[in-house]
Amino acid sequence: MTWPATVITLYPEMFPGPLGLSLAGRAMGEGVWSLEAVQLRDFATDKHRSVDDTPAGGGPGMVLRADVLAAAIDAVRATRPDAPVLAMTPRGRPLTQARVRELAAGAGVTLLCGRFEGFDERIFAARDVEEVSIGDYVLSGGETAALVLLDACVRLLPGVMGAPSSGEQESHEAGLLEHPHYTRPAVWDGRAIPEVLRSGDHAKIAAWRTAEAEADTRLRRPDLWERYVSARVKSPSGARRENKDEEA
């Protein structure tokens, strides 16, 4: 079954872009997912095919027209009724690995890419559209954010990642940053690979990796650490390990 992605954009030439290469590109060739870029301008109704207008109340830039956006959304929804519609905007809810997992397990996605100052707010009252941000910085348009979201989803589709289990230990899947990695040579630049990784003791290695992941998360991402610790306290399986943590 193909996971269908549709992107509504003023720059359809930006797609598939990097997603036509590597893992995602191969998966697309195999029919695991599909990508259709739809030109927003095709839904303009006036003779100048305008998609934007000046902001009400004044100010810089231009705003995408709600009527044009609605026509594009309705047209795509007619062919992809089960795919959620997401608008890429720095005003949106921050994208998380949990949401990515849900989207990848669903019926595909329809992504709306903004340019200029943004969308006429009335589109969000008139249509079922989820506003999504990929971080606290401003991009020149939603297209690169759409590529990010699609990359994160596509790699989770069945058969896309080389080893099916390699996703389970990685950063953010368990609410922690992933442990650090090493490979040969055993000594490089006078620096040796941590001895435990050469011990062959798999239980000891697993314990070391968990400890490193926890230490790095606490240091680098106190926000994630806070959530991880409070989730552990609440879950019965984590209660024992939580006591150990309090002693340290």
Interface positions with ligand 6GU (CB under 6 A): 88-90, 92, 114, 132-135, 137-139, 141-142, 145
| Comparison of 95 and 177: residue with beta carbon closer to ligand 6GU | 95
| Comparison of 148 and 193: residue with beta carbon closer to ligand 6GU | 148
Q: Which of 125, 126, 130 is nearest to 109 (CA)?
A: 130
Rounded distance between C-alpha atoms, residue 102 and residue 214, angstroms: 25
For 47, residues 6+ apart whose C-beta sits below 8 A from its C-beta are none
| Comparison of 9 and 89: residue with beta carbon closer to ligand 6GU | 89
Task: Supply the minimum distance, in Å, between the C-beta of residue 10 and ligand 6GU.
Answer: 12
Task: Supply the minimum distance, in Å, between the C-beta of residue 91 and ligand 6GU.
Answer: 9
Task: Supply the minimum distance, in Å, between the C-beta of residue 11 and ligand 6GU.
Answer: 12
Neighbours of 240 (CB within 10 A): 9
Q: Please say whether the beta carbons of 90 and 36 come within 8 A.
A: no
Rounded distance between C-alpha atoms, residue 66 and residue 207, angstroms: 54
Q: In the numeric block, which tokens belong to residue 248?
A: 């340290």
Task: Supply the minimum distance, in Å, between the C-beta of residue 22 and ligand 6GU.
Answer: 22
Task: Supply the minimum distance, in Å, between the C-beta of residue 144 and ligand 6GU.
Answer: 8
Within the chain, residue ranges assigned H as helices are: 22-29, 66-79, 97-105, 122-126, 142-154, 202-220, 222-234, 239-247
| Comparison of 90 and 108: residue with beta carbon closer to ligand 6GU | 90
